Amino acid sequence: TVLIPRGIYGVYTLRMQSDVTLHLEKGAVLRAARPGAEGGNYDEPEVNLFAGIQDHGHSYLANSLIYGRELHRIAITGSGVLDGSNYHTRQKGEPLEYILNRWDPAFPAKRSEKGHDGSWFGNKGIALDSCEGIVLTDFTFLIGGHFALILSGCKDIWMDRLLVDTARDALDLDGEHRLDIVLMQLVKLMRDG
Q: From residue 104, how far is each of 14, 27, 32, 145, 182 by CA, in Å?
A: 19, 30, 16, 9, 30
The model's pLDDT over 23-73, given as tens digits with 9 standing for 90+, comes to: 999 999 999 999 988 889 999 988 777 666 666 666 789 999 999 999 999
Res 141 pLDDT > 80? yes
Residue 189 reports pLDDT greater than 60: no
DSSP secondary structure code for residue 36 in this structure: T
pTM: 0.87
Q: Give the integer Cα–Cα distance in Å for 190 and 155.
A: 31
DSSP of 37-103, one letter per residue?
TTS--PPPPPP-TTTTTS-GGGT--TTEEEEEES-EEEEEESS-EEESBSTTTPPTTPPP-BSS-SS
pLDDT digits (tens, 9 = 90+) for 60-80: 899 999 999 999 999 999 999
